[in-house]
A and B are shown apart, each in its own frame.
Chain A
Amino acid sequence: MSEAPAEASVPGPLSAEERDELRRHGILLTSVQELYNWGRSHSVWPLNFGLACCAIEMIAASMARFDIARFGSEVFRPSPRQADLIIVSGTVTKKMAPHVVRLWNQMPEPKYCIAMGACAISGGPFKQGYNVLKGIDRFIPVDVYIPGCPPRPEALLHGLVQLQEKIRQQPLRGPDAPRHLRSDLPCDATVPELGAEDIEPPFSPEIWKPPTLVRPDKA
């Protein structure tokens, strides 16, 4: 989108009411950025990929009762090459982590990640176990976190709407431009190796820093 006009990010001389008035008379006014983000946000195709019980709720969200098709995301793609969104739906074991990250690397930009449920966010009830990754955000940049164990399909739909809102707010130029329009940000995540005792490295230092404890009485 290098031909996007420079004034795309500055508000136009018309107010929203004036534009609505024009729309009533059959005149549509928009910007390339608005049109581009509108199209991008309403065709987020998820990867057909489930890990644990959260995947059951994801399947329920795609069925007739909750109907994720209302938001343009009904096309679950079986190949990461055709998917825009990875919904990490469930516990990521350390054995599974390299494969999840590899699927993420195989997806073309622009791509988004939703961490669905307590396990994908932090490891959940298995956080202190020896075999579970303590959150997929150690390796993949997560756009939307959906808490719950598992989250209801409505929560997943809400998360998807939040992701669409985030996409619509992205400027196409400047320092806040999304990853796929910039050359200075890496698209690939570090794929961990399966070591003798743990995955190597246990987290990707480029995108995740270990939390530091701040005592409330010392802060």
Chain B
Amino acid sequence: MESPEALRDRLLARFPGASLELVANGSPSGQVSFRIDPAFLREVARFLRDDPELALDQCSNVTGLDSPDREVVETVKESQPGAPGGPPVVTERKQTRIAPGHLEVIYHLYSVARRHGPVILRARTGNRTDAVSLPSLTPVWRSCEFQEREVFDLYGVVFEGHPDLRRILMWDAFTGHPMRKDYVEPDDYEWEPTPHGDVLAKARRHYPSAAAPGAAQPSP
């Protein structure tokens, strides 16, 4: 298969106006991915599937990613004209702004016919509240159907053009999206003998004295 850079250039030549970004990967696998403008996502997907050299005929994995809103501290330099003839006075001040979060959907594509892959596509939503829709790739690869339903269920990404977008793991009356970072689960912790990690934090919240480090463990 051609190199990711060559594929990017070919895609940019084929889809002028699409924003296409190569996302590096610092892990040992070094699998780079393409972040694509959602408006072009489905056309790019169709091209990747139908191109005879790529022939990416299998979408093996669809998953989601949640990036919550975060505070960014920026240093702003302002220069004001100082004393006449002298250098301008430069003042630095720090300002914080809220970088809006987003949801991201990731597709792993393989070619069974040509035995190569994966090519990884990413697409971001506008924010995490009201602009959460992305084009569905189920019309391109039928195997996306259940996995996109899972991303819809657990992250709340609305896939436009999906034939049957319902919750798949949680029940229909459920309201939350459990894989989002700000999901608050039902407050029903129960004592257990060896809490650790997140469960230990929950245990301390429920039994402050009992779960303190070094304290005798209570029996239920």
Q: How long is the Cα–Cα vector from A197 to B188 in the complex, in angstroms? A: 12
Q: A134-B188, A202-B188, A211-B191 are in contact. Are A194 and B174 (CB under 8 A)?
A: yes
Chain B residues positioned under 8 Å from A211 (CB to CB): 190-191, 220
Q: How long is the Cα–Cα vector from A29 to B7 in the complex, in angstroms? A: 89
In the assembled complex, B212 has its CB within 8 A of some CB on chain A: no
Give how many A residues have a beta carbon under 8 Å from the other chain's beta carbons: 21
Establish whether residues B171 and A194, one from each chain, have CB atoms under 8 Å apart when the complex forms.
Answer: yes
0/1 string, A92-110, CB within 8 A of B gives 1:
0011000000000000000
In the assembled complex, A131 has its CB within 8 A of some CB on chain B: yes
Chain B residues positioned under 8 Å from A210 (CB to CB): 190
Q: How long is the Cα–Cα vector from A95 to B178 in the complex, in angstroms? A: 14
**B96: min CB distance to chain A, Å:** 32
In the assembled complex, B46 has its CB within 8 A of some CB on chain A: no
0/1 string, A177-212, CB within 8 A of B gives 1:
000000000000000001111100010000000110
0/1 string, B34-48, CB within 8 A of A gives 1:
000000000000000
**A117: min CB distance to chain B, Å:** 17
0/1 string, B44-79, CB within 8 A of A gives 1:
000000000000000000000000000000000000
In the assembled complex, A217 has its CB within 8 A of some CB on chain B: yes
Establish whether residues B216 and A213, one from each chain, have CB atoms under 8 Å apart when the complex forms.
Answer: no
In the assembled complex, A16 has its CB within 8 A of some CB on chain B: no
- Smallest CB gap from A129: residue in B: B185
Of A127, A129, A213, most B-chain CB atoms within 10 Å: A213
Chain A residues positioned under 8 Å from B189 (CB to CB): 128
Q: How long is the Cα–Cα vector from A95 to B170 in the complex, in angstroms? A: 7
Establish whether residues A130 and B186, one from each chain, have CB atoms under 8 Å apart when the complex forms.
Answer: yes
Establish whether residues B175 and A130, one from each chain, have CB atoms under 8 Å apart when the complex forms.
Answer: no
Q: Which of B170, B172, B192, B207 contacts A128 (CB 8 A)?
A: B192
Chain A residues positioned under 8 Å from B171 (CB to CB): 94-95, 194
- Smallest CB gap from B189: residue in A: A128
Chain B residues positioned under 8 Å from A134 (CB to CB): 188, 190
**B133: min CB distance to chain A, Å:** 23
Chain A residues positioned under 8 Å from B199 (CB to CB): 128
**B202: min CB distance to chain A, Å:** 7
- Smallest CB gap from B197: residue in A: A128
Q: How long is the Cα–Cα vector from A194 to B172 in the complex, in angstroms? A: 9
In the assembled complex, B165 has its CB within 8 A of some CB on chain A: no
Establish whether residues A196 and B170, one from each chain, have CB atoms under 8 Å apart when the complex forms.
Answer: no
- Smallest CB gap from A98: residue in B: B171
Chain A residues positioned under 8 Å from B202 (CB to CB): 128
Q: A196-B175, A213-B207, A213-B210 are in contact. Are A131 and B170 (CB under 8 A)?
A: yes
Establish whether residues A213 and B220, one from each chain, have CB atoms under 8 Å apart when the complex forms.
Answer: yes
Q: A127-B192, A202-B188 are in contact. Are A197 and B174 (CB under 8 A)?
A: yes
Establish whether residues B216 and A216, one from each chain, have CB atoms under 8 Å apart when the complex forms.
Answer: yes
Q: A214-B218, A216-B216 are in contact. Are A127 and B190 (CB under 8 A)?
A: yes
Establish whether residues A130 and B178, one from each chain, have CB atoms under 8 Å apart when the complex forms.
Answer: yes
0/1 string, B172-186, CB within 8 A of A gives 1:
111110100001011
**A119: min CB distance to chain B, Å:** 14
Which residues in B have some Cβ–Cβ distance to A below 8 Å? 169-176, 178, 183, 185-186, 188-192, 198-199, 202, 207, 210, 216, 218-220
A to B CB contacts below 8 Å, 7 in the list: A130-B178, A130-B186, A194-B171, A194-B172, A196-B173, A213-B220, A214-B220
| Given A195-B173, A196-B175, A213-B191, 10 further pairs, Cβ under 8 A | A130-B178, A131-B169, A194-B174, A197-B174, A197-B176, A202-B186, A211-B191, A213-B218, A214-B220, A215-B210
